[in-house]
Every structure is written in structure tokens, then in C-alpha cells.
Amino acid sequence: MKTETIDYILNYFSGLMNEKEALAWRHYSSEYKLTHSENQDTVEKRRKIYLSKGWLTEDEQTLRLLENGIDQFRLNTAERILNENSDKIEFNKCPKCSELARTPKAKQCRFCGYDWH
């Protein structure tokens, strides 16, 4: 699956993630913010807060979804969403070159420049 397709599905159809996937995504995002924080002095204090708020998880089943890295998680999640919800996902493709538009409502192709307004 192309990166553009994965991005499209996860950006515009993330509501179709199951509970574990949504929790894993929230965990990854929060962990990323903590590890890339400029103020490393407060990381442990914020980690405890994130755990109490449910932004981080210690659930092994959820963390297993991330064990092969974020790219594999994104691919697996996008594939599952597409396989289980193909009737709910409509790909907005360019009528001229058939490439995937940037958004579901886009009317101009980012690849060939064709405009179908």
C-alpha cells in the first residue's frame, strides 16, 4: 500500500480505528512528545500525568501493536480499516491520472495538476 493511501485512510477515516488501535496511536503520539521535549527535567512528572489521563498505556496487547515500529502499525491499521470498512471509504481519485487526491473533497490533482471544479 502506498504511503499516500495510508495517510489518506488514517487522516480522514481514523474514526474507524478500533479501541486498541486508537489507544496505541495516542500512546505513540504522547510518547513521541515526551521523548522529543526540550524540557527533559519534567518528562517523568509528565509521564505519570499522561498515564493517569490515559494518553499512555501499559496494556501489553496495545503495546504489541507498536512493537514493529510506527510505520508497520500505520500499515496494519490502514489495511484493517480498508478490509473491514471498504464500503465506508471512498477514495477521491483524479479523473485524469487516477492518482489519489490529497483530501476526500479536493478538486485539483497534486500529481498532474488537473482541476475538476
For residue range 2-27, what is the model confidence (pLDDT) as tens digits? 999 999 999 999 999 999 999 999 99
Would you say how long the chain is, in residues? 117
User: Residue 41 pLDDT more than 90?
Assistant: no
The arithmetic mean of pLDDT across residues 77-82, rounded, is 98
Q: What are the backbone angles phi and psi of residue 100, rounded to the nearest 5°? A: -75, 130
DSSP structure class, residue 67: T
Using the predicted structure, report yes or no on whether residue 101 has a pLDDT greater than 90: yes
What is the domain partition of the chain in residue ranges? 3-84
Question: What average pLDDT does the chain have?
Answer: 95
